[in-house]
């Protein structure tokens, strides 16, 4: 998607469209793939919708994100009998309560605050599932993301047009501080874009609509084993797909990911690439139902990790010899992901989301 065509937006905002890391992470299928008995085809029959946003000590983001979500929810309220915006606060001190509960009541949209005191993104996502237990549809978005004008309407449109049990939208990064040329060349924040309606087998949950009727039928929840490591969304959507759920892409339903300066560094993006490979191996192994299957998956992940590591090192060396910044940066990214895959296959869990509660 031409990620190197980064453009400067207002003030110091930078945008890179399209992440090469996700080219390995999100596998596109043909539009007809993945149809099985688990597909309800009941998109138009959904009568209730919950938009869930998880938050943890980000008051500035919350002040911008919540009104935007209420506006989005209001725009589709006439399609459902009930529409709710749910804020799940993962701060035991309930730092978001006052702002959320002070929102004026609305006729068409309910705004709900819930605190999940158990630390970890998995606990917060499962709390959202529990709170939406009586709803037909659940949409996840992060508190550091900003939806495009028709984001929610586009997700709902795509869902109601087909037989998908989940609709995935693109995330485009915007930067508070201009990223270095090395990060741009390495396409660390470049995410794959596909035509609307393309079937996929895995998705992140930072821009995702779910048919909870199917999720409940399967008995699916976010795996607590990934509470601090990340990858709980990969495990969730891969399991949904493995059970016959059809996931489709909606390219119009864009959200912008606001990347703070602390994440626009070489150290952070390399660690993120390692984490991506690490969680991929762990979920690949966990999806197998037998000892033999897990062994085969482990060996496969090690082999693929070795190939990526070797290929990345060769590409980085080629970049040094040729003077190509692109080859150097992409080589490092591929090497980091490969090492993460090997580490994950050998049982090491990189806890990207472990945090201090103090």
pLDDT of residue 23: 38
Residue 324 tokens read as: 């190509």
Residue 285 tokens read as: 């192994």
- Owner of token pair 């990207």: 352
Lowest mean pLDDT segment, chosen from 42-46, 158-162, 240-244, 313-317: 42-46
Residue 192 tokens read as: 């794959």
pLDDT of residue 232: 87
Residue 177 tokens read as: 């501080």
Q: In what order do the strands lie in the sheet with 28-29?
A: 28-29, 199-200, 247-249, 166-168, 207-211, 137-142, 48-55, 82-89, 110-115
Q: How confident is the model at residue 343 (pLDDT cuts 50, 70, 90)?
A: very high
What is the chain's alpha carbon radius of gyration, rounded to the nearest angstrom? Answer: 20
Res. 51: pLDDT tops 60:
yes
Compute the 3-state secondary structure of the chain and give helix, strand, coil in percent, each to the nearest 5: 45, 15, 40
Q: Could you tell me if 298 and 288 are in contact, meaning their C-beta atoms sit under 8 angstroms apart?
A: no
> Domain coordinates of the chain in residue numbers?
7-263, 266-345
Residue 277 tokens read as: 């490979």
Q: Could you tell me if 74 and 109 are in contact, meaning their C-beta atoms sit under 8 angstroms apart?
A: yes
Three-class SS state of 8: strand
- Owner of token pair 């080589």: 331
What count of other Cβ atoms lies within 10 Å of the Cβ of residue 50?
26
Per-residue pLDDT tens digits for 23-33 = 333 445 544 44
pLDDT of residue 355: 55
The DSSP-derived string for 14-30 is: EEE---HHHHHHS-EE-
Res. 21: pLDDT tops 70:
no
pLDDT of residue 171: 96
Q: What residues pair up with 138 in beta bridges, in sequence order? A: 50, 210
Lowest mean pLDDT segment, chosen from 116-125, 146-155, 242-251: 116-125
pLDDT of residue 352: 67
pLDDT of residue 227: 67
Q: What percent of the chain has pLDDT over 90?
A: 76
User: Among 204, 259, 189, 208, which residue's Cα sits nearest to residue 18?
Assistant: 189
CATH of 7-263, one of 3.90.550.10, 1.10.10.410, 3.40.50.720, 3.40.50.300: 3.90.550.10
Per-residue pLDDT tens digits for 264-280 = 999 999 999 999 999 99
pLDDT of residue 105: 82
pLDDT of residue 349: 85
Say how far apart CA 319 and CA 334 lie, in whole Å: 13
Q: Could you tell me if 352 and 275 are in contact, meaning their C-beta atoms sit under 8 angstroms apart?
A: yes
pLDDT of residue 294: 94
Could you tell me which residue, 3 or 153, shows the higher pLDDT?
153
């Amino acid at each position: 998607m031409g990620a190197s065509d980064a453009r400067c937006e207002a003030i110091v905002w930078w945008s890179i469209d399209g992440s090469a890391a996700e080219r390995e992470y999100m596998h596109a299928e043909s539009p007809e793939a993945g149809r099985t008995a688990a597909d309800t085809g009941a998109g138009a029959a959904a009568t209730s919708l919950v938009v869930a946003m998880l938050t943890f000590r980000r008051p500035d983001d919350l002040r911008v994100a919540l009104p935007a979500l209420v506006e989005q929810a209001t725009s589709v309220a006439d399609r459902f009998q009930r529409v709710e915006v749910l804020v799940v606060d993962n701060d035991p001190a309930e730092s978001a309560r006052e702002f959320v509960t002070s929102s004026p009541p609305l006729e068409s949209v309910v705004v709900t605050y819930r605190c999940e005191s158990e630390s970890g993104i998995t606990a917060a996502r499962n709390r959202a599932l529990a709170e939406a237990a009586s709803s037909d549809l659940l949409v996840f978005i992060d508190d550091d993301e900003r939806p495009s004008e028709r984001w929610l309407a586009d997700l709902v449109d795509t869902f109601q047009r087909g037989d998908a049990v989940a609709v995935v939208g693109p995330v485009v990064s915007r930067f508070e501080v201009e990223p270095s040329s090395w990060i741009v060349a390495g396409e660390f924040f470049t995410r794959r874009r596909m035509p609307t309606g393309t079937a996929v087998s895995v998705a992140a949950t930072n821009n995702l609509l779910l048919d909870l009727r199917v999720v409940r039928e399967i008995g699916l929840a976010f795996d607590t084993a990934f509470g601090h490591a990340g990858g709980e969304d990969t495990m969730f959507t891969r399991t949904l797909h493995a059970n016959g759920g059809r996931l489709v892409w909606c390219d119009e339903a864009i959200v912008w990911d606001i990347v703070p300066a602390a994440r626009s560094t070489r150290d952070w993006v390399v660690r993120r690439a390692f984490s991506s490979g690490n969680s991929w191996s762990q979920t690949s192994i966990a999806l197998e139902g037998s000892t033999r299957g897990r062994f085969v998956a482990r060996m496969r992940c090690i082999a693929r990790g070795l190939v990526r590591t070797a290929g990345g090192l060769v590409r980085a060396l080629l970049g040094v010899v040729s003077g190509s910044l692109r080859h150097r940066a992409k080589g490092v990214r591929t090497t980091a992901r490969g090492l993460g895959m090997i580490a994950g296959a050998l049982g090491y869990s990189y806890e990207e989301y472990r945090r201090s509660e103090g």
